[in-house]
Structure 1
Amino acid sequence: MTGDLPSDVADVLGVLLDGDDPVHVALRAQIPHLRVSERCTCGCGTAYFDLDTTAVQPAPATPSILIADAQICLENGDRPGEVLVFAQGGYLSWLEVCSWSDTTEVTLALAQRVLCR
């Protein structure tokens, strides 16, 4: 776990923000300073963040608030949903879990195990 950040959130952010892209590098540096302010009540795992913006630098400007995404890939080939990372003003804002399935319960815990990369 990173500070007070739940391990499922920290793990998925680490996977989605992997690599040498300058935006991802800057956003990864924010992870130790994140706190989950709210989670979706449906159980999907979507998390909204609070961040002390005085403790970190903003990421370079991007044309979109959607920073990274990955589909959830099951062993049987099904792709029941995806996980998306959003930033606003150069700061991590929220991690969203989206379901496309009526038969598979899509959660952050599932995504933590089977993200397509």
Structure 2
Amino acid sequence: MNESLPADVADVLAAALNKDTPVHVALRRQIPHLSVRARCTCGCGTAYFELDTSKVDPAPTGPSTVVAAEVQLVTEAGECPGEVLVFAQGGYLSWLEVCSWSDDIQVTLAAARHWMQTCS
């Protein structure tokens, strides 16, 4: 794995891209070649990627920007405070977004990572 890709980001990407569809398989192959270009400054954990596209093939998502994976987060109490979205542009991983739906529970990448592991 690329050392510039933090473990929390890699874990959440792997959990979100866990289906054996051609798109998810191709996007998982890109993870070792990713690095984080920037992160959201609000603390949510959203990460924007840089990828050497010469080292990997694009996923069959088409030329536009698509939501390649969407995972609703569920707490141990059964609440749904948000979701994780994985975006691809032109078949390449582009960014990971951590979305909050509630003001009652703070949704961060660490919380998303925990809830994704708890529910899988």
Quickly name the TM-score band, shorter chain normalised.
Answer: over 0.9
Q: Return 5+ residue gaps in structure 2 as ranges.
A: none
Q: Is the 8 A contact 1:37 1:48 kept in 2?
A: yes
The runs of 5 or more residues in structure 1 that have no matched partner are: none
Quote the sequence identity (%): 64
* Structure 2 residue matching 1:54: 3-state secondary structure: helix
Q: Which runs of 4+ in 1 moved over 6 A?
A: none
Residues 72, 79 of structure 1: 8 Å contact kept: yes
Structure 1 counterpart of 2:20, which letter? D
DSSP-derived class of the 1:78 partner = coil
- Aligned pairs (5 A) from 1:7-86: 7-62=7-62, 65-86=66-87
Q: What is the TM-score when the length of structure 2 is the normalising length?
A: 0.91
Tell me whether 1:99 sits opposite 2:106 in the alignment: no
Matched length: 117
Q: CA RMSD in A?
A: 1.5
Greater helix fraction, Structure 1 or Structure 2:
2
Distance 1:64 1:55 in 2: 20
